[in-house]
Amino acid sequence: MPRTVITLAHPFDFAGWRIATRDLAGRHVPPDTITWQVAPPGSTPPAPTPDENRQPFSIPRDTMQLAADVLQSTLPDRFTLAYGLIYAHVTGTPLDAADLGRINEAAETVSAETQHLRQNLPTFMKREGEDSEWRGTLDSRTYAPESNARFITYQLSLAPWRLVLPEREICWNGTSLLHGPHGAPAPLSFGSLPPPALPLVTDLDIERITSLRAVALAARTCLICPMARQATQTVFGEGRPGARMMFVGEQPGDREDLAGRPFVGPAGQLFDRALEEAGIRREDTYVTNTVKHFKFQRRGTRRIHEKAGRDEIRACAPWLAAERRILRPQVLVMLGATAASALLGRTVTIGRERSRAIELDDGATGLVTVHPSFLLRLPDEAGRAREYARFVADLRLAASHVMPVGT
Ligand code: URA
């Protein structure tokens, strides 16, 4: 059989590989008769002309993602391996066991590296000032972070960035994405890259996730609302998986956004003190927010908290619902009007609803109280002391609705 030569636009050209694969696998062209090569940087390969005689076929989503994962590895024969996977599916021939092993291994590496990159982005991307580009170094020789370029660009609010790898660099100059040898990267289109190894949250059926760890991990890649593109990271709830009390605030603040943990800033410190006075150990509870990203306005170097709006609350509602569904707390404490309105599904005025047990539709007891940052804002000391005491009393009341262990 004559050899078929396919020239791809760049070393991670998923779009080009997919067009060629649809054509070749549709004509049952065996993998060992195809040579995959990459066009020299800066040149454009001729557009493929699919054969009229090919048979259309469909590929299960998981199989196509596995192929996409392999194409995010730096294995020299990744195009052949990924094609072999699709060819085996289309023709019904068994895939070579050694190839399958290598495919799975590559996919695992890619998934771990993707996770590592996303989790550590806030720590390894740095910039000297507001006008300079974000810069980071990644010592990875097995993985192509190009597929996470869109994720990085959103996370850094579309500001210019550069990621330096051992033999190449990827950069976003504010308008275009480029990659290639150090100092001479060539344009790259987001659309040509393989879909990232970790699904973006819109691809997930949140309702089917059954562990808090998994749901927290899925929320890390959530880009549903614009806040997610602006904030440093998703701040998910945390606490004991079997906690009987769950506290829900509004949204992470500046400190929480940087730390990636809820209620660790000034309001959190006051909350911790009140919990202690009420005889509640925070580590026995679960603490979260209605909205999982920090919403702010930039003023110079400061980031000023902005109230979460209806759209953001709606976008985050599946996460909060998942936390409730998985944790099944006995008592749900709503800290402030945003949490109370989101959870009770109506506009809540704190003064009218606070300090009384509310039966919730899942059988839990709800209790509305003030948000700790309300206490921080009170101007006079006497008022602050009075309101603080009421807050502690609310926390005690909430704790009194927790059934003793064994009941
Ligand atoms: N305010 C909140 O509502 N949540 C936090 O995590 C911090 C401040």
Q: What is the pLDDT along the chain (407 residues), one digit of tens a residue?
A: 789 999 999 999 999 999 999 999 999 999 999 999 999 877 778 776 767 777 778 888 789 999 999 999 999 999 999 999 999 999 999 999 999 999 999 999 999 999 888 878 878 899 998 889 999 999 888 899 999 887 787 667 678 999 999 989 999 998 889 999 999 899 988 878 898 887 655 545 577 678 888 788 778 766 666 666 678 888 999 999 999 999 999 999 999 999 999 999 999 999 999 999 999 999 999 999 999 999 988 888 889 999 988 878 888 888 999 999 999 999 999 999 999 999 999 999 999 999 999 999 999 999 999 999 999 999 999 999 999 999 999 999 999 999 877 65
Which of 256, 272, 288 best tests ligand 1's pocket when mutated (most atoms within 8 Å of CB)? Answer: 256
Ligand 1: centre distance to CA 250 (Å): 6
**Cα 328 to averaged position of ligand 1 atoms, centre (Å):** 21
Ligand 1 centre to CA of 68 (Å) is: 38
Amino acid at 260: G
Beta strands in 177-301 (DSSP E): 177-180, 186-188, 238-239, 245-249, 286-289, 296-299
CA 376/CA 271 separation, integer angstroms: 10
Between CA 194 and CA 253 the distance in angstroms is 34
Identify whether the C-beta of residue 166 lies closer than 8 Å to the C-beta of residue 139: yes
Residue 317 to residues 135, 207, 208, Cα–Cα distance (Å): 34, 12, 15
Q: Which two tokens stand for residue 249?
A: 């605030």
Model-level pTM greater than 0.85? no
Residues with CB under 6 A from ligand 1: 249-253, 256, 262-263, 265, 267-268, 289, 373
Gap between the Cα atoms of 81 and 70, Å rounded: 8
What is the maximum alpha-carbon separation in the chain? 90
CA–CA separation, 311 and 182 (whole Å): 42
Helix or strand holding residue 162 (H, E): strand 161-164
